[in-house]
Chain A
Amino acid sequence: MMDIKRIISKIERDYIISNLKKEERIDGRGLWEYREFQIKSDIIASAEGSADVSLGDTKIITGLKYEVGEPFPDLPDEGVCTVMAELLPLASPLFERGPPDEQSIELARVVDRGIRHADCVQTKNLCIKEREAVYILFVDMYVINYSGNLIDAGGVSALTTLISAHIPEGVWNSDKGETDWTGKYITGETLVKELPFVVTYGKIDDIIFLDPSLPEELVCDGKISISVTEEKITSIQKSGAATFSIDEIKTLGKKSLEIGKKLRKDLNLLQYLSKID
């Protein structure tokens, strides 16, 4: 069991910082190294897509459910995809019961924006009948163990869930004015195009490092999360009280694209496409 406190002692903080200054991490990683990702897909029978993703000791299980509902009036032929996150009190003594707090809303929002602005979910393919019926997808993330950097683990978890999705295919029955089910499935190939990855860095003093672990997250001044597709940056979130120089932001933008490329290749998420017809 790990010793988790809300406040880290000054000695521990100094130890983490002095190591970082030597470009060393307390868990032996280099400054630009991720912890190991472990991914399992389609693990929940009741969900139309699911993933169990671990990043080091951080573990997030995500599931997808759908409803058929009316589209937004300004997007009459597009489905909707929403992301929610629950920081379960089971996952850490730092998490409390109750309605979603700032941290869980930020996690859901950052992952959502990464996906939304990347041409990832093909919302036009989620339309059953213009102005009448579209799919509403709920991608719900549950944190099972919290050991730092929920955002990157959540991003991969949500993405794998969408890739593994298999949603019953509906056609519009204009006589009855309702949806009929064909018995076939809409799968990840129709649903997902671009694969966005969120890359998060921590900053202490003027040292920046990838994938903050829990102790690093607790002592760092702030973080920055950058979502990237193959070629483009699609969303950025700076959080915490740190400030970043223009040069640092430029470097991190470039770095994120490189790291995104590597993740895309190493994780090979398309292997989790649903095999169902």
Chain B
Amino acid sequence: MPLIIKDEYPKKLFREDGKRLDGRSEKELRPIKMEVGVIQNADGSAYLEWGNNKIYAAVYGPREVHPHHLAKPDRGVLRVFYRMATFSVFDRKRPAPGRREKEISMIVADCIEPVLFLELYPGTSFEVFIEVLDADGGTRCASTTVAALALADAGIPMKSLVSAVAVGKIDGKKVVDLSGIEDKAGDADLPIAITWYNEEVSLLQFDGDMDLSEMNDFLSDAKEALESIHKTQLNVLKSKYLKLQEETKTNKEKESKKGDE
């Protein structure tokens, strides 16, 4: 529930007790909740709540490429469409996609492509639709994380998952996982993603200022946070398959009982 009427930034981003405005310590992540298989029609899908961010991702593919001229004869294409709902931000966003949404779509696609075996799917496309319904800072990182999860849910062969997080500087202090207000009123913002199969950086942007030692700290802080996000992603996928395993088991038992009768 929005309690601000004007979109004003606070002067200080730390409270008197040294915690951040939402009560977190400097290296603490916001609460993260993930779910897979949330959209029945899609080949794969995932839902992510990350702080106040609420994002759906759905994967369709491999399927025919539209428009046809985008198809590549020797490999599949990955297309990502990042969109924000009109009510996901403070001032109503116009319904048509803007430049920012197109840029982020491209960045997310470039970030995820390395983990896919697109050469196995010539002439087809994988389309990932990301819908941000509620936005509160770090949506490109959250979108990357949830898109990777949706691709895995679709059963598409992947070298590994991808996880992303933003680190940055607010009031001169280094923090992990910037919220919307910290992103807007802070001094520096560095979104970063890791492809886990080679543990290399697949998304990297930076706005603000930092010296070399700060950059080193940012990278190691981010790595630590990303490991915990990766763990959550893996757990969500594992629990999906454990559930399926149990279902098949009970179904089989039922069938064998029927057979006995």
Contacts and interface: CB of A to CB of B under 8 A. Distances in A.
Given A44-B54, A67-B92, A84-B95, A140 B41 contact: no
Contacts of A84: 86, 95
Interface stretch (B25-33, B118-126, B127-135, B164-172): B127-135
A134 B127 CA distance: 42
Contacts of B56: 90, 144
A146 B41 contact: yes
A177 interface: no
B87 A89 contact: no
B88 interface: yes
Interface string A66-99: 1100000000000000001010111111001101
Contacts of A91: 39, 41, 58
Interface string B1-33: 110011000000000000000000000000000
A140 B40 contact: no
Given A63-B86, A89-B81, A46 B39 contact: no
Contacts of B129: 88-90
Interface residues of B, number: 38
A192 to B, nearest CB: 18
Interface of A: 1-2, 4, 42-48, 50, 57, 59, 61, 63-67, 84, 86, 88-93, 96-97, 99, 138, 140, 142, 144-147, 166, 168, 181, 183, 276
29 contacts: A1-B42, A1-B43, A43-B134, A44-B87, A44-B133, A45-B1, A45-B52, A46-B2, A46-B88, A46-B89, A46-B90, A47-B134, A63-B87, A64-B87, A65-B91, A66-B92, A86-B85, A86-B95, A88-B83, A88-B129, A89-B81, A89-B129, A90-B58, A90-B129, A93-B60, A140-B86, A142-B131, A145-B39, A168-B5
Interface of B: 1-2, 5-6, 39-43, 45, 52, 54, 56-58, 60, 63, 66, 81, 83, 85-92, 95-96, 127, 129-131, 133-136
